[in-house]
């Protein structure tokens, strides 16, 4: 059983479109995250969210927005996609304290044409 | 602000030899340190962490890491490398008061184990 699952695995779309990536975790964690991995494999936190607060990395454009219907889900919505948004996006989850490891999904490879 | 440095883009080791993947960090206060491994087209897998206590921590797949406060390092080690250890390794740091903050990752080190 997959602990953190993302859909779709691959997403190919055109510039200017709006798209969403879904993430679900079945680990009972209370905190979820979105990371972006660029073509050089560099990983950067985009958002972290629990039922109390949303923390946004200040470098993330406001075209990106996380939406959490419940504690087990954190979806990523992207408006007006740009070429530079091409990357692999990883969802992760953990218990909310800083000393707990995060569990990652297998990623969504987003390609903008 | 917290940061992590992995000075080697790639480390090559012969199978059966010991391996070391280097990591240094910068954080205010005491750090929480993590190592993750990424195989091609997969997400990151947790290997081990240092929170407090014994400076030598043991993790998955025979890996261990040594926390050195004076050198602000947290190098990943394994006594005898396997070809299957070949992957991309990330060191990460988090501040104790981080709460819901994400991890700050190093740029990753490609580990190549040669048969």
User: Domain with B36 in it: what CATH number?
Assistant: 2.60.40.10
Mean pLDDT of chain B: 93
Q: Do B98 and A98 touch (CB under 8 A)?
A: yes
Residue B84: give the domain boundaries.
3-114
Longest dimension (CA), chain B: 44
Structure confidence by residue, pLDDT tens digits, B62-85: 999 999 999 999 999 999 999 999
Distance of CA A67 to CAs A33, A74, B83, B89, Å? 11, 6, 41, 30
Mean pLDDT of chain A: 92
| Overall number of domains in chain B | 1
Q: A–B: how many Cβ contacts below 8 A?
A: 74
Say which of A47, A97, A105 has its CB closest to residue B43.
Answer: A105
Name the residue ranges covered by the structural domains of chain A. Answer: 4-112
Q: Is the pLDDT at B36 greater than 80, yes or no?
A: yes
> What CATH fold (topology level) applies to the domain A4-112?
Immunoglobulin-like (2.60.40)
Dihedral Cα A17, A83, A91, B2, nearest 10 deg: -140
Say which of A43, A44, A55 has its CB closest to residue B100.
Answer: A55
Structure confidence by residue, pLDDT tens digits, A41-79: 999 999 888 877 887 787 899 999 999 888 899 999 999
Structure confidence at residue B1 (pLDDT): 78
């Amino acid at each position: 059983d997959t602990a953190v699952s993302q859909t779709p695995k691959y997403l190919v779309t055109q510039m200017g479109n709006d798209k969403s990536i879904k993430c679900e975790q079945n680990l009972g964690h209370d905190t979820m995250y979105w990371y972006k991995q660029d073509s050089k494999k560099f990983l950067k936190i985009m958002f972290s969210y629990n039922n109390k607060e949303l923390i946004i990395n200040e470098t993330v454009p406001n075209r990106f927005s996380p939406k959490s219907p419940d504690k087990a889900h954190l979806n990523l919505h992207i408006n007006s996609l740009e070429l530079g948004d091409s990357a692999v996006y990883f969802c992760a989850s953990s218990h909310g304290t800083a000393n707990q490891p995060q569990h990652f999904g297998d990623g969504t490879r987003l390609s903008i044409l | 602000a917290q940061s992590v440095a992995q000075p080697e883009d790639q480390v090559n080791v012969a199978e059966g030899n010991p391996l070391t993947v280097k990591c240094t960090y910068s954080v205010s206060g005491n750090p929480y340190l993590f190592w993750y491994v990424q195989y091609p087209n997969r997400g990151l897998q947790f290997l081990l962490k240092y929170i407090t206590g014994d400076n030598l921590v043991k993790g998955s797949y025979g890996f261990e890491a040594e926390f050195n406060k004076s050198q602000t390092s947290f190098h990943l080690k394994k006594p005898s490398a396997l070809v299957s250890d070949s992957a991309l390794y990330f060191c990460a740091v988090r501040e104790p008061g981080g709460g819901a903050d994400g991890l700050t990752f190093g740029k990753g080190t490609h580990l190549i184990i040669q048969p």
